[in-house]
Amino acid sequence: MLVADPGTAADWRRFRQEFTDAGPERRREMLRERANQSRTADLHMIGRAGLGHVGGDMSVLDILTTLFFSVLRVDPEKPEWADRDRFVLSKGHTAGALYATLAAAGFFPTAELDTFAGPLSALNGHPNRVKVPGVETNTGPLGHGLPVSVGMAVAGRLSASARHVYVVLGDGELQEGSNWEAAMTAGHRRLSNLTAIVDRNRLQQGARTEETNTLDPLDDKFRAFGWDVLEVDGHDHLALHEAFTAPRGDRPTCVIANTIKGRGVSFMEDRVEWHHKVPSAEQIVTASAELAR
């Protein structure tokens, strides 16, 4: 098991405090800058490893950054704290994005990112809770995160805990039936302590979701299963923050975050081939320059 980096964790705490004290424009800038730093770190990880899921990583990083840097009640130095909020990345193939985010928050040293996908690295191509602090359950096969998150939300209820469970789902992943079993359970049990965030980039591995197996109308589907649904721009950090912290009724919340696969890198945006294509060294330089703007 990797251990926390106290220095980075202290920086993260300062960030969280500054965010709390800041006005909207400053908040937006803070999260935008932080997310793009993680995008750059992730591109380098993928370049070094020669593998990864770059398109989905870029797509989800504004969601992950908003959660870890402005929403989740967690402590990178006490990853086992019983009443922490729970975060599950159901689309486990975007592990690179999660690792870059967790390292930036101090859950483990950023130097560890250099080992991504290398022999015996704790940072496998899909996240492993036994090795990586901040990972709550092992994901990778799709359709697993929501049922486990429902179990965590049921546990929160049984314990009368104030903790909240957040789970990020890929949109293509919603073609797995297990999600709808779990969505039904969450609606039936009125698990208002559960928020599912759909990274709605409309692309799956080989094609557009709507050309493969139609998901729309996704909002109506979740509503029909007993959920409250919010739809936001998944790259608008303040809109994400507002959706993740909105007052909750007595139902689970689904946040449909409309995103762009490959977001932030002009030549990757909304291009299906960047699902798991590996950028060249030159492309990484170009992309990093775009992200530094």
Residues near other proteins (CB under 8 A) are: 82, 86, 128-130, 136-141, 143-144, 146-156, 158-159, 177-178, 181-182, 184-185, 188
Minimum distance from residue 116 beta carbon to other proteins (Å): 19
Place of tokens 């004290």: 21
**Based on CB atoms, which residue is closest to other proteins, 122 or 284?**
122
Q: How far is the CB of 184 from other proteins (least distance, A)?
A: 7
Q: Report the residue number, 110 or 121, with the smaller CB distance to other proteins.
A: 121
Question: Least distance in Å: CB of 264 to other proteins?
Answer: 31
Of the two residues 176 and 269, which places its CB atom closer to other proteins in the complex? 176
Smallest distance from the beta carbon of 85 to other proteins, in angstroms?
A: 12
- In whole angstroms, how close is the CB of 178 to other proteins at the nearest point? 4
Nearer to other proteins, 39 or 144 (CB): 144
Cβ closest to other proteins, residue 47 vs residue 134:
134
